[in-house]
Structure 1
């Protein structure tokens, strides 16, 4: 079950982000999310904007993500490729799993497609697990974007 995040969910989300950072390090991706990211402040801002969601399984929070409909400033410029569509889109950010649920990315993508038929997502070049998940779902590679801090990310999109 996917539902909007509530303030009482923040400790569980922060624990999931801790587990995700550790998993990324173990998988050869130690720099995508430094210890301070995603911060509690970012999670609380996502909740206030209504863009934070949790995935529950048997009453336990097993995953989280942000889904933002509208223009993403980091997606204004794309290098070494292009977006496949120019229509309004939703962006998936900060997706993470506790490691206790199978198919969490697919559940997230399905949920987001129910809200918006055109999705965009990005990930770090070292995040092999997320790259595999987006490609397995059918996202298409689009090129490279840069975050506000200048960090490069591989960009993908998907249209229903």
Structure 2
């Protein structure tokens, strides 16, 4: 699996990947994360323009997507029910999605990001058990609860490279 920056030409496949991820979440008990139209095409276009959007590609097809953004992130300023496990400059992983047919998207995403940053933060919905399991599998530790821009809570995790 190759990872590269997302281009405008990738938008239809990226949006289809979000649709597939949304369907997977609904089928696995996560009924409210990413309501229809979220993440929006405008959000992905902004990520592309800032150089923060990436696609996972196999056989010239987009099989996954994620955003990898240098912090700080406003949603991570206030944390409840815990605390960040470290206080260091970090990057954030957002909007991880797979087409639902290709295995290894989360692994590829996390390894890519861990190779490029000494510290990472990520969050997910409390009902997104598959993503929580993937996050923990790749060495992230639960930090607490944060609130995203629409005011809904997310379980927050962080990871720091061992020196």
Same fold (TM over 0.5): yes
Deviation per residue, 1:40-92 (Å, 9 max, x gap) = 10010000000000000121110000010120000000001001111100100
- Which residue does the alignment assign to 1:94? 95
Question: TM-score of the superposition, structure 2-length normalised?
Answer: 0.96
Deviation per residue, 1:78-119 (Å, 9 max, x gap) = 001001111100100000000222121111011111221101
- Which residue does the alignment assign to 1:28? 29
Matched, 1:108 2:109: yes
The CA distance in 2 between the partners of 1:70 and 1:137, in whole Å, is 20
Matched, 1:151 2:149: no
Q: 1:1-160 to 2 correspondence within 5 Å?
A: 1-160=2-161
The CA distance in 1 between the partners of 2:144 and 2:82, in whole Å, is 4
**3-state SS of 1:100 partner:** coil
- Consecutive unaligned residues of structure 2, counting only runs of 5 or more, are none
Deviation per residue, 1:104-141 (Å, 9 max, x gap) = 11110111112211010000000001000001111100
Number of aligned residues: 160
Alignment RMSD (CA, Å):
0.7
Runs of 4 or more off by more than 6 Å in structure 1? none
